[in-house]
Structure 1
């Protein structure tokens, strides 16, 4: 199979995971919430951006002034344009990358 974009390839893999009875996005989110150790701030923001894009869509709030909130805002805004399925697939990939360190 030939994919025209990396996103198309990731969505294909995500859909096959669902078909193969792999954990769903929602199950992966719950697993990430139960990490024994906390991810770094940068890692957290990577999860956060994909999570918000997957569950809400493009960032729909004004940029906050508080630095911590602004970091979350920027993480989410940087994912603009991704479909919910793409964002879910990327979130799962991020989870796979970091899970061995934190489970």
Structure 2
């Protein structure tokens, strides 16, 4: 299975977890997902608390390649699978 196929499979699985990860864990997954799909943050920082936290998390991945973001996302999701599935 290719990296893209693995990433798609794992991200689909994460969407269906029965329990919600902590805010920090959610931000880690979110930022890796955005970096993998869109590259470096490409929008201005929003003013809302939640939106700003998401933006900051994604911005913290600046310069990371899409493939590296996908690998890290897969690794984190696999580590947390038993905890949240």
Name the TM-score, length of structure 1 as normaliser: 0.77
Higher RCO, Cα 8 Å, sep 6+? 2
**Corresponding residue number in structure 2 for 1:62:** 44
For 1:51 and 1:25, the matched residues in 2 are separated by 9
Residue equivalent to 1:95: 77
Gaps of 5+ in 1: 1-16
Residue 57 of structure 1 and its aligned partner are, at CA, apart by 0.3
User: CA RMSD for the aligned pairs?
Assistant: 1.4
Distance in 1 of aligned mates of 2:43 and 2:14 = 25
Runs of 4+, deviation exceeding 3 Å: none
Q: Aligned residues, how many?
A: 84
Tell me, yes or no, if structure 1 residue 81 matches structure 2 residue 77. Answer: no
Counterpart for residue 48 of structure 1: 30
Structure with bigger gyration radius: 1
Normalized against structure 2, the TM-score is what? Answer: 0.93
> In the aligned structure 2, how far is the partner of 1:66 from the partner of 1:83?
28
CA–CA distance in 1 between the matches of 2:28 and 2:6? 19
Runs of 5+ unmatched residues, structure 2: none
* Cα distance between partner residues in 1 of 2:33 and 2:24: 14
Residue 22 of structure 2 is aligned to residue 32 of structure 1: no
